Amino acid sequence: MNTVMGQHLLIECRGEHASLSTDNLEELMTKAANASGATIIASHFHQFGGHGGVTGVLMLAESHMTVHTWPEAQYAAFDVFMCGNADPSVAANVIAQRFPTADVCIKKVDRGYSVETQNT
C-alpha cells in the first residue's frame, strides 16, 4: 500500500537565479507560494559574505520552500515540498519562468509511506 503525503520538487537552476538578492528571492518565492495555493507562516533569508550566496526558507502550512545560491557558480537550488491542496508544480513553474533563458531542471519525488520500503 502506498500513501503519498506530499510532493517534493527539486529545482536546479544555472543562470540568473543565482544572482538574485535576498529581497528578490523572497519576492519570487512568495509569488510562487501564493500562486500554488500555499499559506506562508514565516520566512527567513540570509546573505553570506564572500561571493554573496543566499540561503532562505518559507515555512508553509503545507510544508516548506527553500533556496540556496552560489553566485560564483551561477547555481541556485530550490526545494518545494507541499502537501494538501497546494500545487508544488505551479510554484516550480513560477520560479523557472522568472528567467526563461536559464537552464532549469525540475525533479519530482512523491513523499510518503510505502509498505514495499518498510524495514523488516
- Domain residue ranges in the chain: 2-112
3-class DSSP assignment, residue 38: coil
Structure confidence at residue 4 as a pLDDT band (50, 70, 90): confident
Active site residue 83: yes
Catalytic residue among 43, 64, 68, 89: 68
Which of 15, 30, 8 minimizes the C-alpha distance to 70? 15
Calculate the CA 91 to chain-centre distance.
8
Catalytic residue among 21, 83, 89, 105: 83
Distance from C-alpha of 83 to C-alpha of 94, rounded to nearest angstrom: 18
Active site residue 13: no
User: Average pLDDT of the chain?
Assistant: 94
Q: What is the pLDDT of residues 30-55, one digit of tens each?
A: 999 999 999 999 999 999 988 899 99
Q: Reading across the β-sheet that carries 40-47, which strands appear in turn? A: 40-47, 54-60, 63-70, 75-83, 2-14, 103-114
Does 3.60.90.10 match the CATH number of domain 2-112?
yes
Active site residue 105: no
